[in-house]
Structure 1
């Protein structure tokens, strides 16, 4: 199977790590990564160089790299790109991989080519792509920031949205109609399996649905679409959210999106019947909610355990009925036919 995983940060890292474990059935993995980060090392490089924020891209590369393989050189490079400088100087807080990616993107003037080069360097089994070739900004409509809890405010920036003390009602991107990375769109169309989530819901997961071409690809792909829910509400952007509310805002930001499965941690869903009722509105025919123990044990913060998530995904995939070939030739695609005419 070919798989495409969409997200960012630690959530996408867990999904990619799980897909690597499933290498007996998932032979090709493409990560499609959000590019709206404006904090930390990524934010500094973005402001100073005008480059794509490299942090989430670096984490996806590390998840797919052969760092635990038999090649010691590749393992060393994986450790190096994840290494973060300490101290108090100009490099303090920068990850080596962020600097490497920023430099390659500057030299090659092509973020996809730069990422492909780092994939070769690290022995990555798959591909890492940005959701857009341009750095984007997230804006949000938030309530509860003033004396009147119903007054609406607008805030801008990934860090501001992720850490707001208010309640996020909806998000959008700037520019309003951003370009999609054409290779990412193609990867979604060519996939047999598309995974959305887990991750920061408003700032890592939903942004993929706000890039028009990428959203259209998600709507029209013949791949099985699986949503992986978060383990717990995230302080700031989803504080107090139930599992059902995560699905509700997903539907609100992508009306008409149908999925084949929703995966959630069994301990994170207090009322399974309520989640099932909410999911009914977006489940395709024969779609299902799959509850399984997918949380890492003894983690200081909620984290998906890659092995447990891999087992859950294996069970989900085994439960799908056979589908007539989901692979289409290029000549069968409407957009290809239009180009030929």
Structure 2
């Protein structure tokens, strides 16, 4: 099974960890709009793709081994290296020396013993811009805010996002050709979980990637978050996540929606929202531990297996 997972950060890490239990042919397509922390510093100082989400995807596909732990280690202290993950610095060096992000990520994957692939959704850094309400005395006033960190942490309500080429704002974002080909040729494509406006939806705003997602013959599965994210999706119901997805990509049809049963208070509403996108709804216990804020890789893998089998049977 050729599986492609689109996203970023911890959400994509959870999906990739589950997919590794199902197939060795996994491709991660990763957002490149991060402008905070170690990634933001390296992006501003060197003009490179932000490496943090790419690093997380690589270590998820590498599994628990020594080099993966080294890649995730962050320097302490108060000096110039404070806060930088070793993997971010390695990727920054590979990007500078090799020039081609696809080649650099393939070399990092070889170093980590990764059998799948990690690809950026674009070969150039991108910027996120959002329309947000609730930041003024008049709650209906719309303010435009820019930057991944600003959007992810806004105390307002995100209404819509746009994506820009960081260097040429008048040009639409351009997709990584290898990422487009991976989506087009996949057997199953996964969107989510993750930060909805800053990790999941951006993939739908890159024109070539959007068209590939619309046209692919793959089974398209959306994995919903376990809890709303403070800031960008505070107060969102599970079905609201699907509504927002449809608003940003009205041509996209989905085959299956996977959600944790304990995170869905009104299953009938979510089932109707999934059906509006053409999807079956699969509810199961896929959260890990009593906190319920992390996906259980084994349970998620089994649920994904059933989702794909159900769609193919249909």
- Which of the residues 275, 278, 301 maps onto 1:280? 275
Q: How far 1:322 sits from its partner (Å)?
A: 5.0
For 1:189, the equivalent position in structure 2 comes to 184
2:105 equivalent to 1:115 = yes
Counting only pairs closer than 5 Å after superposition, residues 118-267 of structure 1 correspond to structure 2 as: 118-175=108-165, 177-267=172-262
Larger of the two Rg values belongs to structure: 1
- 5+ unaligned residues in a row in structure 2: which ranges? 166-170
Superposed CA deviations along residues 209-240 of structure 1, whole A, max 9, x for unmatched, are: 00000000000000000000011111000000
- State the TM-score, normalized to the length of structure 1: 0.89
Contact residue 7 and residue 196 of structure 1 kept, 8 A: yes
CA distance in 1, matches of 2:245, 2:313: 27
Q: How far 1:320 sits from its partner (Å)?
A: 2.5
The 4+ residue runs of structure 1 with deviation greater than 2 A are 320-323
CA distance in 1, matches of 2:193, 2:118: 17
Superposed CA deviations along residues 39-84 of structure 1, whole A, max 9, x for unmatched, are: 00000000000000000000000000143xxxxxxx2211111110
Q: Secondary structure at the match of 2:259?
A: strand
Count of residue correspondences: 309
CA distance in 1, matches of 2:274, 2:304: 18
Contact residue 256 and residue 311 of structure 2 kept, 8 A: no
CA distance in 1, matches of 2:207, 2:74: 35
Contact residue 4 and residue 193 of structure 1 kept, 8 A: yes
CA distance in 2, matches of 1:128, 1:82: 16
Q: How far 1:321 sits from its partner (Å)?
A: 3.0
CA distance in 1, matches of 2:296, 2:44: 34
For 1:314, the equivalent position in structure 2 comes to 305
CA distance in 2, matches of 1:276, 1:18: 24
CA distance in 1, matches of 2:120, 2:309: 30
- State the TM-score, normalized to the length of structure 2: 0.96
Q: Name the Cα RMSD after superposition.
A: 1.1
CA distance in 1, matches of 2:63, 2:181: 25
CA distance in 2, matches of 1:280, 1:312: 18
